[in-house]
Amino acid sequence: MAPTAPATTGAASPAAPAVAKGEGKGKAAAARSVGLDLPALPPLPGLGLAAQGQTRAASCKRQERNVVAMAAGEPAAPMAANEELTEFVNDLKQEWDRIENKFAATSLAVAATLGMWSAGGVVSAIDRLPVVPGLMEVVGIGYSAWFAYRNMLFKPDRDAFFGKVMEFYEDIISG
């Protein structure tokens, strides 16, 4: 008597259907499906070049073309960003030198940082409550709609609002 199937103990082996279905695809495809009758995942790009019908040389040629295309283009952006950063730092140094009361400015910066940190903690604590985040979102949407209707929808209201903003701006700048 010739054995027709592998003997299993107890219940049917979960890997048996996957091995039977994956015989034509190889052991890797059968191992991936783990007996759940799921299709095997496609191979990750760049890992199985020979299995995908590509050779390593073809992949290298493609990368060489990309390098040539990038080298023939404009200069790299980090140079411009570096110049902008240097300009920003120089402007910041000039402004720092103009400040007469450096202690007050530093204290204000520390207080603002602590205030933002504590406000973030409060918002995080409120966000963990079950009903409050949804309610706050509805309140925010309602207030935004009211503000837009009151100040932005009609031209006279819009002009009056921008006049108030410019007046407030001038008070801050001049004081």
Confidence of residue 174 (pLDDT cuts 50, 70, 90): confident
**At 96, which amino acid appears?**
W
Residue labelled with tokens 């709609």 = 145
Share of the chain above pLDDT 90, in %: 33
Cβ neighbours around 112 below 10 Å, total: 10
Asked whether residue 69 carries a pLDDT value surpassing 60, the answer given is no
Domain membership flag for residue 16 = no
Q: Of 12, 14, 8, nearest to 31 (Cα)?
A: 14
φ, ψ for residue 27, nearest 5 deg: -70, -30
Q: Of 158, 156, 138, nearest to 148 (Cα)?
A: 158
Asked whether residue 118 carries a pLDDT value surpassing 90, the answer given is yes
Total of domains in the chain: 1
User: In terms of residue numbers, what domain contains 174?
Assistant: 131-175
Domain membership flag for residue 49 = no
Domain membership flag for residue 82 = no
**Of the listed ranges 25-29, 98-102, 117-121, 127-131, the one predicted with least confidence:** 25-29
